[in-house]
Amino acid sequence: MRILFLGDIVGRVGRDAVAAALPELRRRLRLDLAIVNAENASHGFGLAPEMARALFEAGADVLTLGNHAWDRREIIPFIATEKRLIRPINFPPATPGAGSVLLTLGDGRRALVLNAMGRLFMEALDCPFRATEDLLTRHKLGATVQAIICDFHAEATSEKAAYAHSFDGRLSLVVGTHTHVPTADHQILPGGTGFMTDAGMCGSYDGVIGMGKQPAIERFWKKMPGERLQPAEGPATLSGVFLETDDTTGLARHIAPLRQGGRLAETFPEF
């Protein structure tokens, strides 16, 4: 299975870049599955339903969220009916929406996509490790599903690495989101799980993690609330990771970063 994961979309420039590039990426990479984190798509905070629809129309199969999941309240009734939009699985049980989605591809292969959120330097949620373990009692990689992909939305690199190693051999891919900076540690772990600490973001890197520079700078200088943060303008960079799995085992065969456009050095998966 050929899978592309794109990191956090930040604002309009990120949305427009993903919508413009995704159809060609699907063709060029011969993708079976495209997953995008969209929790910052609406002006940097949350996701509006019409933006989710546009991303699905552009070719996203699944959209994931994170700690900004509920910043746009109109997403609450939308997520209750749109199964391809998922929020962290370790939100409390009564939370709207679901933390995972099971997709059946056109050729009959099945892929499970889950979204989990870390707790170190983040909100006090239920345990993401135990929530994932519970989900994996119902789905077995290489048996009931051909791929399992997790967007682990977390602040601490240590928590992301601990999570990936905990489920090595039981997930196809663990990719981190939230910090908006792509890491250079893409690898296949000893048990066969693909891992990258953070996919980076889809937005303008001429800013402070996707937001305009000056208001962010002033908050650090003055340590006071200031002007509301707005997404940075300028050419967007798409940041993400590509994974190819073995359909028999569900484990990773090839992993490579993707960076396209904008300010960062470009890199594209090679075969």
Active site residues: 68
> Is the distance from CB of 177 to CB of 153 less than 8 angstroms?
yes
Q: How far apart are CA 29 and CA 20, in angstroms?
A: 15
Q: How far is CA 205 from CA 4, 53, 66, 187, 265, in A?
A: 21, 25, 20, 24, 11
Q: How far is Cα 180 from Cα 105, in angstroms, rounded to an integer?
A: 30
Q: Decide if 201 contacts 7 (C-beta within 8 A).
A: yes
Helix ranges restricted to H, 93-156: 128-136
Q: Which amino acid, one-letter code, is at 7?
A: G
